[in-house]
Structure 1
Amino acid sequence: MIELVRTNDAVVISFVEALMRDAGIACMVADQNMSVMDGSLGILPRRILVDSEQADEARRILADAGIAHEIRDA
């Protein structure tokens, strides 16, 4: 799996998850439970991971949705 997005913006995370779900691309949000460490302040970013074989398609979907600036460099 590769890191597609890293953010602490819950709206972006939800949006990316919905886009991936609609496209049939499995994704995983890593570091969700790190809020215990930061006192639930949302300081620590969460990572959205996708299978490396679907990474190009996932990047294209995010670009088409207008959030290409959120994509982590490969």
Structure 2
Amino acid sequence: MRNALGLLLLLVLAGCQTQPIPSLVTQCSGERPQVCTMEYNPVCADLVGGGKKTYASGCNACADDAVSGYLGGECPE
């Protein structure tokens, strides 16, 4: 009985699949915007060569070819 319970537990654990954690980073993909509205909703952009920079909006961040993606809010100092 103990072996059967252990085997059942092993099968249950083996059947569990981990779900990927959704990325909070918005990726800049496709065509880059040429014109953005004058909204101020700051984002912290990841630069392709490394580093971070605050932009006025996600549109402004993705308009820069040096940006790969961004998170909402200003970059920490």
TM-score normalised by structure 2 residue count: 0.28
Q: Which has the higher helix share?
A: 1
**Higher RCO (Cα < 8 Å, 6 or more apart):** 1
TM-score normalised by structure 1 residue count: 0.29
